[in-house]
Amino acid sequence: MTDILRVRRREWTPDIRKRYALVAVLPAIALLAVFVIYPLVLLVIESSQDGFEVYGRVLSSGSGQKAIATTFTASLVATGIVVLVSSIIGWTIRTTRRRWVRALCWVCVLAPFWMGAVVKNYAIVLLISNKGVVNAGLRALGLDPVQMLYSTPAVVLGISYSLIPFGVLTINAVFQTIDLNLLRNAEVLGSTRSGSIFRVMVPLAGPGFIASGAIVFALSVGFYVTPVVLGGAKSPFLATLIQANILQYFDLPAAAALSVILLVVALLVMIVTIGLVGVGSVRRAMTRS
C-alpha cells in the first residue's frame, strides 16, 4: 500500500478567496467611505462646531420651522398620492384583460422616467404657469386664470409625478406575488369585487405597501429641483432654504444642520419601517424597481 501518494490537504471551496475578494471590493469601500459616509459625517461636524447652537438657531427661526413643516407635510401628502395612484395603475396592469390598457399604463409608468428630473418639472411649469396650458384653457372658456405655479400644491404635484414610476414598480412587485384566484374565490363565496379587494388584498399586500410608501417618503424629502422650480426660490422648503444658506448667506453650518435633519428623518423613517415590516419587505421594495 506504499503506492498511495498523499497530497497535502488544502481546503478548496468554489468561492473567491477572501483576500482577493477584499482587494476587489476595496474601491467600493473607498468610494462609499470617502464620498458618501464621510460627507455625511462632515455635515454633523460642520453643524455642531458650537455645540448644538446652530440647530437651536435653525429650529427656532420662523423660516426653519416653516420649511420643516412644509417639507414633511408636502412629502407625506405626496406619498399618499403616489401610493394611491400607483395602486390604481399597478392593479390595472395586474388585472386588466385588455392589452392596450396595460400598454397605456406602462407608458404612463415610463414617461416620467424618460423625461428626467429637470425636464419633468419644466414640463409641469409649461402646464401650470400663468401663461401655461391650463390657464390658456381656462381663458378660452372665459374663466379667470388661477395662480398655480410657485405654490406648495405645485411642489406636491411635482414630487408625486416624479415618484409614481417608482411607486408603480414596487407596488406592482407586491401585486405580482398575490394569487388572483384568492380574489375569485372570495367573489365566488359571495363577496363583491371591490369588497374582496379590500378584505383579501389589503392584509396580503400591507407590508409591501408600507415599505414602498416609506421609500417614497424618504426620497421625496430629499427633492431639490421640484421645490426650487415649482415652489420658487423663496418657497418654504428645506431644499430651497439649504440652497439659500449656501449660495446666498454663505451659512454652511445652518445648511449642514438642515441637511442633517433631512438625513435623520429619512433614516428614521426607514428604520421604523424595517422594524414594522421587516428588512425583507424593504429590500424587496428597493430592489424590485
Q: Which one of residues 56, 153, 195, 278 is an interface residue with other proteins (CB under 8 A)?
A: 195
Enumerate residues 6+ apart whose C-beta is below 8 A from 278: 207
- Cα(31)–Cα(37) distance, integer angstroms: 9
Amino acid at 175: F
Residue 78 CB, nearest approach to other proteins (Å): 14
Under the criterion CB under 8 A, does residue 263 sit at the interface with other proteins?
Answer: yes
Residue 64 CB, nearest approach to other proteins (Å): 15
Residue 36 CB, nearest approach to other proteins (Å): 5
Amino acid at 287: T
Q: Which of residues 7-66 bind other proteins (CB under 8 A)?
A: 7-18, 21-22, 24-25, 27-29, 31-32, 34-36, 38-40, 42-43, 46
- Cα(258)–Cα(276) distance, integer angstroms: 27
Q: Which one of residues 59, 76, 77, 104 is an interface residue with other proteins (CB under 8 A)?
A: 104
Stretch binding other proteins (CB under 8 A), from 54-62, 172-180, 199-207, 253-261? 253-261
Enumerate residues 6+ apart whose C-beta is below 8 A from 113: 165
Q: Which one of residues 60, 181, 194, 248 is an interface residue with other proteins (CB under 8 A)?
A: 194
Q: Is 212 helix (H, G, I), strand (E, B) or coil?
A: helix
Backbone φ and ψ for 133, nearest 5 degrees, come out as -65, -45
Q: Which one of residues 169, 225, 244, 276 is an interface residue with other proteins (CB under 8 A)?
A: 225
| Spatial contact of 67 and 259, defined as CB atoms under 8 Å apart | no
Stretch binding other proteins (CB under 8 A), from 53-61, 62-70, 100-108, 176-184? 100-108
Nearer to other proteins, 152 or 162 (CB): 162
Residue 112 CB, nearest approach to other proteins (Å): 7
Q: Is 51 helix (H, G, I), strand (E, B) or coil?
A: coil
Cell readout for 272 is: 421604523
| Spatial contact of 67 and 238, defined as CB atoms under 8 Å apart | yes
Under the criterion CB under 8 A, does residue 111 sit at the interface with other proteins?
Answer: yes
Cα Rg of the chain, angstroms:
25
Under the criterion CB under 8 A, does residue 133 sit at the interface with other proteins?
Answer: yes
Backbone dihedral region of 45: left (phi > 0), alpha (psi from -120 to 50 degrees) or beta? alpha
Cell numbers 427633492 correspond to what residue?
223
Under the criterion CB under 8 A, does residue 118 sit at the interface with other proteins?
Answer: yes
Q: Which of residues 159-188 bind other proteins (CB under 8 A)?
A: 161, 164
Stretch binding other proteins (CB under 8 A), from 6-14, 58-66, 176-184, 201-209? 6-14
- Cα(12)–Cα(259) distance, integer angstroms: 49
CB atoms within 10 A of CB 32: 12
Stretch binding other proteins (CB under 8 A), from 59-67, 172-180, 199-207, 227-235? 227-235
Stretch binding other proteins (CB under 8 A), from 60-68, 169-177, 200-208, 239-247? 239-247
